[in-house]
Amino acid sequence: MRGGNLRYHLSFTIGLVLFLIYSMLIFLISTTFIAYIFVIFSLIVFFIGILLANSHRSSGIEPKNRFKFIAILLPFIPIVLSRGYIGSHLTALYAFNNADTVFIALIFPIAEFSVVMLSNFESASFIGKMSSTGGYDIEDMENELGRFTRTIFLIALVAFILGYLSYIAILILPTFNIGLIPAIIVFFAVYAILMRNAIKKTEQQ
Amino acid sequence: MIKEWSKQLITIVLLAGFVAIFALLATEKTIILGIFFPIIFVFIIIYTVKDEDISLTFDIPSRMKVGDEALFRVKIKSTGGFGLFNISLPTFKEMEIVEGSNVCLMFKSIKERSKEVTYKIRATRRGIFDLTDSDITYIPVIGMVRKKKVTVKTSRSIEVIPAISMLKKSQFQFRSKVIKPRIAISRLGPPSTDFESIRDYIPGDPYKTINWKATARRNSQEKLLVNIYEREGMKTFIFILDRGNNMLMGTTSQNPLEYSIPLILSGAKYLTSKGSNVGFWETRAFTEAKAPYIQPSSGGDTYNKLQRILIRVEAVKGKNIKYKPDKALSHIIAETLPQVMFITSLNSTNYPSIAEFASALISAGARVTLMDILTQGISAKFRREDLSALFQRKIIKDAKSEIYKVFPSRCSIISWEPAQESIGIAASRLAMLAGW
C-alpha cells in the first residue's frame, strides 16, 4: 500500500478514532476500578493487534488486527459477571455490580462501528496489495477502492443510526417494550431468517 | 478479497450472536443495542445486492500499421450487482501497451455505474490477430462462498499491416551498374488481344484464356490448354521470399523475415507505381503442397494482393525448405526473363542449397539479385556484451565472403544489416543492383 493515499487509509483512522472515543467514554463515565481494568486491558489487546499487524507489514503481509473483535468484547465481561444469574449467585463478584458498567453496553455500537471500519480498511488494503502487481493503473485502482470503502462507511453509518433509533423506539413505544427473553427469541428468529437468506443468495451466485 | 471480506462479514454476524449471549447471561436490556448495529448492517448489504449485470462496448480499430499506436476505448456499464468487478480488457499477441492499462477494477454500489477505460497499444509485428476475450471476475460484497467469472466475447480481429518506406526516385542517386533500358518493352505486361501461342495451363492463368476447343482436340492428355496473348509492358520483377528457419533469427518482431516484408512491399509499391510488373513467390517446405504466389502484373491490385499475402506469411519452423523453382515460376521466368530478387539470410548450413536455387533461376533465364539479411546485428542488440560490434562485423564479413564465393558469378549478392541500415537505404542499394 502506498503511503500518502488517504482515500482508504481514512477508514483506518475513523476506526481507530472511534475505538479511542469508545474507551475514553468508558473512562469518563465509569466510577468502578473493575471497569477501568477491563478497558485498559481491552486497549492493550487492541494496540498489540495493531503492532503485530504492522510488524507483519514489513514482511509483505498487509496489516490485519486479529484481536479487534476480542478487544471490543472484553469490557462486556464485568457486566456479565456482575448481573444476571452469575452475579446474583456468586457473592464474590458483587464488586463488579455497578450501574455504570451498563453504560458500556450503551456505547457499544461505537466500538462495533470502529471494527467495521477497520475491517473495511483491511479488505481494501488486501485488494490494493493484490492488484498493485497486476499492471493496474494505481490511481484508478485506488479511486475504486476509495468508492468501496466510502460505500461501506455510508452503509455502516446508516446501520449505526438505525440501531440507536430502534433502541429508542423500544424504550419509548410501549408496543416494543417486551421482556429480555422474548427480545432475544425475536433476535434469534430474525438472525436465522437473515442467515438463511444470505446463504440462499450466495448459492444463487 | 472475497475471503477477506466474507470473513469480516461473518465475524460481524457472529459478534451480534455473542452480544445476544452476553445479554442473555447478564439479563440486561441495554445490551440489545449492541445487536442492532451488526444485524442492520448485514441486512442492508444482503438486501441491496442484485445479480451482477455488466456490458462492454468496444471502440477498437480494425486495422493498424506496425509501429503505430492505436487507442482502445471500452465503455463498461453495470446495472446489477454490488461489489467489485475485476476486468481484463482485450489485447492481442505481438503488441505492447504504451499508455494506460487493460486491467482495471470497478466498484459497483447500489446505483448504476458506468466507466470508460482507454489504453494505447503499439503493434510490434504484422499479422491478423484475434483480440482476446474480456475476462471479468465479479467479487460480490456478500460473496461468502465464491467469486464469479464472466467472459465477454470480443469476437474481433485486428489487421496489422507492415509499415513501408515510400521510396522516391531521388533516393536512387547513383546509376545502376546493370545496363538495362528503363522503358524497354518486355514480354509480360497487360495482355493485348493479339494472339501469340497456345501452351499448357498453369495455376494462376485466368480461366477466360482456356482454349476449350484445343483442349478437347488433345483429349488423350488430361491437360488444359490456354491461349497466350501478346503482352506489352514495363520490365518484370519477381520477389522471392525465403521462409526457412534461418529467417527467424532474433525475436518475433525483429528477425530477417520481419525486415524483408517491408523491404519487399516498399520495392513493390515503387515498381508498380512506375508501371513495372511485379510478381511474388515464396519458398515452401517439402511437406507443403503449395504456397501462394502472384503472377507478375502491375497496378494497385498487385500491391494489395502482395500485402494480403505478406501479412499472413510465416516462416516454416523445423522443416526442410524446397529450394527449387516450381513449375509456374519456371514458366514465368522462361516467358519474361525477369529480374529476380531473392530475399534470404545465408548461414553455414543453407548456402549450398540456396546457391543451387540461384543457379537454377539463372539457367531458367532470370537475372538474380540475392539480398542476404545479416542477423548478427539483430542478435547484438540483445547480447551486446558478447563481442564488440566491430569484431562481430569482421567475423561475419570474413565468413560471408567465403560463402558468397560458392554462388554463380551471374548472381549479384548484397548484404543488409537491418540493425545498422534503414530499409530505405537497403532498398536503394537493391534498386541500383537490380536495375529498378
ipTM for the complex shown: 0.80
Interchain CB contact of A6 with B (< 8 Å): no
Q: Which of B29, B31, B39 is closest, CB to CB, to A194?
A: B39
pTM, two decimal places: 0.71
Q: Is the pLDDT reported for residue B328 higher than 90?
A: no
Are both A110 and A164 inside the same structural domain?
yes
Chain A residues near residue B143 by CB distance under 8 angstroms: 202, 205
Task: Evaluate whether residue B335 is within a structural domain.
Answer: yes
Are both B136 and B34 inside the same structural domain?
no
Q: Which segment of A140-149, A176-185, B15-24, B355-364 scores lowest on mean pLDDT?
A: A176-185
Chain B residues near residue A197 by CB distance under 8 angstroms: 46-47
Chain B residues near residue A180 by CB distance under 8 angstroms: 23-24, 27-29, 32
Are both A86 and A71 inside the same structural domain?
yes
CA–CA separation, B16 and B33 (whole Å): 10
**What residues contact B406, with CB distance under 8 A and at least 6 apart?**
B351, B352, B355
Q: Which domain holds residue A201?
A: 178-205
Low-confidence residues of chain A: pLDDT under 70: 1-8, 30-32, 35, 53-66, 84-102, 174-180, 194-205
Say whether A187 and B32 touch across the interface (CB within 8 A): yes
CB B145 within 8 A of CB A202: yes
Q: Which of residues 246-275 of B touch A (CB under 8 A)?
A: none
Task: Evaluate whether residue B214 is within a structural domain.
Answer: no
Where does a domain end: B31, B48, B65? B48
Q: Which of A66, A64, A62, A65 minimizes the C-alpha distance to A1?
A: A62
Are both B30 and B59 inside the same structural domain?
no
Closest Cα in chain B, distance from residue A39 (Å) = 17
Are both B290 and B349 inside the same structural domain?
yes
Residue B9: count of CB within 10 angstroms of its CB: 23
Are both B136 and B252 inside the same structural domain?
no
**What residues contact A74, with CB distance under 8 A and at least 6 apart?**
A38, A41, A42, A45
Say whether A123 and B148 touch across the interface (CB within 8 A): no
Q: Is the pLDDT reported for residue B2 higher than 90?
A: no
Are both B147 and B265 inside the same structural domain?
no
Q: Which of residues 81-100 of B touch A (CB under 8 A)?
A: 84, 86, 100
Average pLDDT, rounded, for chain B? 81
**Angle of CA points B11, B15, B16, to nearest 5°:** 125
Are both A148 and A189 inside the same structural domain?
no
Are both B138 and B180 inside the same structural domain?
no
Q: Is the pLDDT reported for residue B214 higher than 70?
A: yes
Higher local confidence (pLDDT), A121 or B184: A121
pLDDT in tens, B263-298: 999 989 888 888 888 999 999 888 887 888 888 888
Q: Is the pLDDT reported for residue B77 higher than 90?
A: yes
Are both B361 and B292 inside the same structural domain?
yes
Closest Cα in chain B, distance from residue A51 (Å) = 20
Interchain CB contact of A85 with B (< 8 Å): yes
Higher local confidence (pLDDT), B105 or A42: B105
Task: Evaluate whether residue B280 is within a structural domain.
Answer: yes
Q: Which of A116, A164, A180 is closest, CB to CB, to B23?
A: A180
Task: Evaluate whether residue B272 is within a structural domain.
Answer: yes
Are both A131 and A194 inside the same structural domain?
no
3-state secondary structure chain B: CHHHHHHHHHHHHHHHHHHHHHHHHHCCHHHHHHHHHHHHHHHHHHHHCCCCEEEEEEECCCEEECCCEEEEEEEEEEEECCEEEEEECCCCCCEEEEECCCEEEEEECCCCEEEEEEEEEEECCCEEEECCCEEEEEEECCCCCCCEEEEECCCCEEEEECCCCCCCHHHCCCCCCCCCCCCCCCCCCCEEEEEEEEEECCCCCCHHHECHHHHHHCCCCCCCEEEEEEECCCCEEEEEECCCHHHHCCCCCCCHHHHHHHHHHHHHHHHHHCCCEEEEEECEECCCCCCCCEEEECCHHHHHHHHHHHHHCCCCCCCCEECCCCHHHHHHHHHHCCEEEEEECCCCCCHHHHHHHHHHHHHHCCEEEEEEECCHHHHHHHCCCCCCHHHHHHHHHHHHHHHHCCCCCCEEEEEECCCCCCHHHHHHHHHHHHCC
Are both A154 and A197 inside the same structural domain?
no
Query: Which pLDDT score is estimated for B171?
Result: 62
Task: Evaluate whether residue B224 is within a structural domain.
Answer: no
Q: Is the pLDDT reported for residue B137 higher than 80?
A: yes
β-pairing, B236-241 with B277-282?
Answer: parallel
Best of A148, A168, A172, A204 to substitute, by most chain B Cβ atoms within 10 angstroms, is A148
For chain A, how many structural domains are there in total?
A: 2
What cell was used for B395? 567475423
Q: pLDDT band for position B4 (50/70/90)?
A: low
What cell was used for B103? 486491467
Task: Evaluate whether residue A57 is within a structural domain.
Answer: yes
Q: Which of B263, B288, B268, B290 minimizes the C-alpha distance to B279?
A: B268
Say whether A198 and B100 touch across the interface (CB within 8 A): no
Say whether A83 and B28 touch across the interface (CB within 8 A): yes
Instruction: Give percent of chain B with pLDDT exceeding 90.
Output: 19
**Angle of CA points A49, A55, A57, to nearest 5°:** 105
Are both A182 and A168 inside the same structural domain?
no
Chain B residues near residue A187 by CB distance under 8 angstroms: 16, 20, 32, 35, 39
Rounded to an integer, the average pLDDT of B141-170 is: 77
Query: Which pLDDT score is estimated for B134?
Result: 92
Closest Cα in chain A, distance from residue B69 (Å) = 19
For chain B, how many structural domains are there in total?
A: 3
B83: left (phi over 0), alpha (psi -120 to 50) or beta: left
Closest Cα in chain A, distance from residue B117 (Å) = 10
What cell was used for B421? 541500415
Interchain CB contact of A158 with B (< 8 Å): yes
Q: Is A91 exposed, middle or buried (0-12, 13-18, 19+ CB in 10 A)?
A: exposed
Are both B57 and B44 inside the same structural domain?
no
CA–CA separation, B131 and B123 (whole Å): 12
Amino acid at the residue B358: A
Q: Which of A144, A159, A202 is closest, CB to CB, to B107?
A: A144
Query: Which pLDDT score is estimated for A1?
Result: 43
Say whether A108 and B45 touch across the interface (CB within 8 A): no
Are both B149 and B179 inside the same structural domain?
no
Task: Evaluate whether residue B206 is within a structural domain.
Answer: no
Interchain CB contact of B43 with A (< 8 Å): yes
Interchain CB contact of B425 with A (< 8 Å): no
Residue with cell 533469427: B249
Q: Is the pLDDT reported for residue B336 higher than 60?
A: yes
Interchain CB contact of B23 with A (< 8 Å): yes
Interchain CB contact of A123 with B (< 8 Å): yes
Measured in degrees and rounded to the nearest 5, phi and psi for residue B100 equal: 80, -165
Measured in degrees and rounded to the nearest 5, phi and psi for residue A180 equal: -65, -45
Interchain CB contact of A185 with B (< 8 Å): no
Q: Which of B83, B266, B65, B275 minimizes the C-alpha distance to B167?
A: B266
* The residue count for chain B: 436
Rounded to an integer, the average pLDDT of B185-208 is: 72
Chain B residues near residue A203 by CB distance under 8 angstroms: 145
Q: Which of residues 153-192 of B touch A (CB under 8 A)?
A: none
Are both B43 and B84 inside the same structural domain?
no
Instruction: Give percent of chain B with pLDDT exceeding 70.
Output: 83
Rounded to an integer, the average pLDDT of B27-46 is: 81
Interchain CB contact of A112 with B (< 8 Å): yes
Q: Is B418 exposed, middle or buried (0-12, 13-18, 19+ CB in 10 A)?
A: buried
Closest Cα in chain B, distance from residue A151 (Å) = 7
Say whether A123 and B1 touch across the interface (CB within 8 A): yes
**Chain centroid offset of residue B292 CA:** 16
Instruction: Give the highest mean pLDDT range of A15-24, B102-111, B246-255, B393-402.
Output: B102-111
**What residues contact B251, with CB distance under 8 A and at least 6 apart?**
B378, B382
Are both A118 and A33 inside the same structural domain?
yes
**B83-88 β-sheet, strand order:** B103-108, B83-88, B134-140, B148-152
CB B118 within 8 A of CB B72: yes
Task: Evaluate whether residue A1 is within a structural domain.
Answer: no
Interchain CB contact of A11 with B (< 8 Å): no
Rounded to an integer, the average pLDDT of B38-47 is: 82
Rounded to an integer, the average pLDDT of B244-270 is: 87
pLDDT in tens, A174-195: 666 666 677 777 777 777 776 6
Say whether B30 and A204 touch across the interface (CB within 8 A): no
CB A84 within 8 A of CB A112: no
Query: Which pLDDT score is estimated for B391?
Result: 44
Chain A residues near residue B76 by CB distance under 8 angstroms: none
Say whether A112 and B49 touch across the interface (CB within 8 A): no
Task: Evaluate whether residue A36 is within a structural domain.
Answer: yes
Q: Is the pLDDT reported for residue B119 higher than 90?
A: yes
Q: Which of B1, B25, B84 is closest, CB to CB, to A85?
A: B25
Q: Report the sign of the C-alpha dihedral through residues A22, A25, A27, A30, in that order.
A: negative
Q: Report the sign of the C-alpha dihedral through residues B4, B10, B16, B21, in that order.
A: negative
Say whether B84 and A144 touch across the interface (CB within 8 A): yes
Say whether B30 and A105 touch across the interface (CB within 8 A): yes
Q: Which residue of A has its CA nearest to B99?
A: A137
Higher local confidence (pLDDT), B89 or B32: B89
Q: Which residue of B has its CA nearest to A177?
A: B29
Q: Which of A144, A115, A141 minimizes the C-alpha distance to A129?
A: A141
Chain B residues near residue A141 by CB distance under 8 angstroms: 104-105
Query: Which pLDDT score is estimated for A192?
Result: 75
Amino acid at the residue B52: E
Q: Which domain holds residue B363?
A: 169-190+232-434
Are both A168 and A182 inside the same structural domain?
no
Query: Which pLDDT score is estimated for B379?
Result: 66
Rounded to an integer, the average pLDDT of B117-140 is: 90
Interchain CB contact of B12 with A (< 8 Å): yes
Interchain CB contact of B104 with A (< 8 Å): yes
